[in-house]
Amino acid sequence: MLSSFTNDILGSFSDIAQNQVAIAIYGLLAILIISLILASIFPSWRTTFVKLKILEPDERPSSLLVWIFVILIFVKLIQIFIIQPFIVDGGSMLPTYHNKEFLLVDKFSYLVGKPARGDVMIFKLYENNRNPYEGKYLIKRVIGLPGERIKVENGVTTIYNKENPKGFIVDESFVIYKELRKNVDMTIGDHHYFMMGDNRAQSYDSRDWGPLDEVNVKGQVLFRLFPLFVISYEPGRATYTK
């Protein structure tokens, strides 16, 4: 059986296909690596690299290749365990997040702690059935925590837990696009979370596929970096008093 570390490594490479930024960066790196390999074989290629100031006159292409691979390994470790870039795809989190916004996701916090209600998380969806989102990244907000009962009725979310056995209504003033027909009443199991998009009218979330298993959680949104006029830290994070 593969170790968790090995699975993380392999999974991170499969994630590249879902990340436009990663595709562009790794594509350019692949071109550079192939060019350096050719420069190791053909003197004319090496001469071109020297003229472009990419290589020093007495530097071998192989030395630069070694540095590139060392940097790649370092970057991949950061991406797997600390922070990773993502681009929002779709409008399920409107008006908090918009399509094509560039985010940095904190992966380290959930290695040492647990998600809190109100966190905006990135996760992979696995339902064990055929659907357009199977195995893809989604962005949603944490609404229900392990062990709680969640009741969504006519657009109102009520949570029952040990501290509030009679239930309390979740303050969701940030929700503009409501959905009055998706009613659910369920109890969340251990190591699971109830997730909903802020755009309730167009969000495919725990109301449809049930609680999220924490093993599929990738991290929480830490920074929004693009567009430049909406740069922010933990954008849209909601704090609940109950």
The active-site residue out of 107, 140, 203, 218 is 140
Roughly how many angstroms between the first and final C-alpha of the chain, as a whole number?
42
**232 an active-site residue?**
no
Instruction: Give the Cα separation of 130 and 226 in Å (integer).
Output: 33
CA distance 216 to 19: 17
The one-character DSSP state at 231 is -
Please report the DSSP string for 92-159 in residue order. Answer: TTTTTS-TT-EEEEE-SHHHHS---TT-EEEEE---SS--TTTT-EEEEEEEE-TT-EEEEETTEEEE
User: Catalytic: which of 12, 44, 63, 92?
Assistant: 92
114 assigned to active site:
no
Catalytic residue numbers? 92, 140
